Amino acid sequence: MMGDDDSERSAPGDDVWGQARAMLDGLDGGLNIAHETLDRHVAAGHGGQVALRWIGKDGASRDLTYADMAGMTSRFANVLAARGIGRGDSLFCLMGRVPELYVAALGALKAGAVFTPLFSAFGPEPIRTRMEIGTARVLVTTPGLYKRKIAAWRDQIPSLELVLIAGDDAPEGCVALGPAMDAADPVFETARTAPEDPALIHFTSGTTGKPKGAVHVHNAVLYHAFSGRHALDLRPGTVYWCTADPGWVTGTSYGIIAPLVNRVTMIVDEAEFDLDRWYGMIGREKVEVWYSAPTAIRMMMRAGVEAAAPYDFATLRFMASVGEPLNPEAVVWSEKVFGQPFHDNWWQTETGGIMIANRPGMAVKPGSMGQPMPGIVAGIVERDGDSVSELGTGKVGDLALRPGWPSMMRAYLHEEARYRKAFVDGWYISGDLALRDEEGYFWFVGRADDLIKTSGHLIGPFEVESALIEHPAVAEAGVIGIPDDTAGEIVKAYVTLNPGHDPSEALERDIRGHARKKLGPAVAPREIVFRNTLPKTRSGKIMRRLLKARELGLPEGDTSTLESDET
């Protein structure tokens, strides 16, 4: 997938990756994530340890041991193999946080297939777009999600040969997973995948065009093992709760792979955020390491210190935050409530793992993302064409990394030029702006593009705008993120109307409802504003930057390419 270019240069941490490799078994020169997360632990005599403790929405719990998971993933791999699915085939999974999701993820990898998670709150259009780009051959989902979001267009994806439905019954043309698993052999010889064989595809939205599919390989498990141990303090037997949904990269890298490869006991809660439920979960399940998101932390802050008083947090030894920058007030607040700070860290879908972190034992500077992980070389740089120069202490620039770490993406699916553009003069350019202080701590400043971070979800404006203009009343749309105390940012849309349509509260509600149906509530705009025109360049490109500047009262910057507009 890569040529002889900047993206292939070895990282300065080769000795570190050797240490990480020593944490794993390997498979006769090959490497497979499923073997490293499950079967090697069973072979070493740890099959009786609980791998996953699932808490249902109703509070009922179910324990799955490492032996249980190894057997179930083998059955799943056999279900695939019996239907001609194997190495290199693309399997998508659209589910909430239920045990079948975790079995499907690792069972697919065991079979040598390439696993792609989908966020279950997505609407039909984002799901379909990603499955088309990923040439989905298999989909694993639930009866309800299939009926609401897949059935209407399932036959329009030629590559989709097999739909597996969780449970004992399935619609016509689909296969019920329950009976198929029951009939399958619990023994499966894990595919001897090579370290550079594709294993995972995670989609991340772009500012223009379609979502990008970041391709990750089985060798990423080296970094999942290493960073889980050194950034999150995951050790064998640790009780660990990652609140991220596996529909996003955090929920796969650190909600499935990193914990299981380090032989922890994972807590998986099917329900969405509920303050008392979450606080109670920590004490009841004796959680030791907790990995959550700033949005949830801010919601806890809003409830006040008193809301936490009745609960027991004595077992917690480490807490970390991911998804967007954690504001300093949240770090100070967490020390008051939990007796320790949340440890912020930074990484991306493209990096596959935590790159910069407030690691265990480090002094936390509230508001800082921390320092680079061992083996990771990070810099603040300035680009000048095809050359890059590093900036000094306190200077704001592009946050960049030296390529070569094991979990680095190996491609953007079907977009080689886009992938190569991310690597300049021996650096991976992240697209985030940051600065480094005199002690080597990094501080997030902002994104260098138009992406919107809301409640930990990364949203591309183009995708939202495309859905909005499908409404018969909408002529044009421009979408931005505006600051929000709870979600970090919320999606706000500006629209112009087609002739014959006039602005009204009823029309605004109707357009928002249309967007929610197409995109899902996590992606759809919270607010829609009607405008006579939108600011555009002379080439017709809507200037989201200008929309945001006017919304927030910021300097408008260079408007020399702006087509005259009125609002």
Write the pLDDT tens digit of every residue in 90-108.
Answer: 999 999 999 999 999 999 9
- Please, are residues 82 and 183 in contact by the beta-carbon 8 Å criterion? no
Q: What is the pLDDT of residue 475?
A: 86
Which stretches of 172-219 are DSSP H helices?
Answer: 177-183
Domain boundaries, the chain: 452-563
Instruction: Considering only residues 419 and 537, tell me which one the structure prediction assigns the higher pLDDT.
Output: 419
pLDDT(27) > 60: yes
Query: Could you read off the pLDDT of 150-200 as tens digits, one per residue?
Result: 999 999 999 999 999 999 999 999 999 999 999 999 999 999 999 999 999
pLDDT band at 337 (very low <50, low <70, confident <90, very high): very high
Q: What is the pLDDT of residue 556?
A: 64
In one-letter notation, the amino acid at residue 354 is I
Q: What is the pLDDT of residue 465?
A: 86
Instruction: Considering only residues 3 and 62, tell me which one the structure prediction assigns the higher pLDDT.
Output: 62
- Please, are residues 54 and 255 in contact by the beta-carbon 8 Å criterion? no
pLDDT(24) > 60: yes
pLDDT(284) > 50: yes
Q: What is the pLDDT of residue 537?
A: 53
Tell me what the pLDDT averaged over the chain comes to: 91
- Please, are residues 279 and 309 in contact by the beta-carbon 8 Å criterion? no
Q: What is the chain's alpha carbon radius of gyration, rounded to the nearest angstrom? A: 23
Question: Which residues does residue 240 pair with via DSSP β-bridges, in sequence order?
Answer: 266, 289
Q: What is the pLDDT of residue 557?
A: 55
Percent of the chain beyond pLDDT 70? 93
Q: What is the pLDDT of residue 204?
A: 86
pLDDT band at 538 (very low <50, low <70, confident <90, very high): very low
Q: Which of 121-125, 442-446, 524-528 has the lowest mean pLDDT?
A: 442-446
- Name every residue whose Cβ is closer than 8 Å to that of residue 40 and which is 6 or more positions away in sequence: 24, 25
CATH architecture group of domain 452-563 = 2-Layer Sandwich (3.30)
Query: Could you read off the pLDDT of 291-320 as tens digits, one per residue?
Result: 998 878 888 988 889 999 999 999 999 999
- Please, are residues 551 and 482 in contact by the beta-carbon 8 Å criterion? yes
pLDDT(561) > 90: no
d(CA 520, CA 118): 12
What value does the mean pLDDT take over residues 219-235?
Answer: 98
d(CA 239, CA 519): 35
pLDDT(559) > 60: no
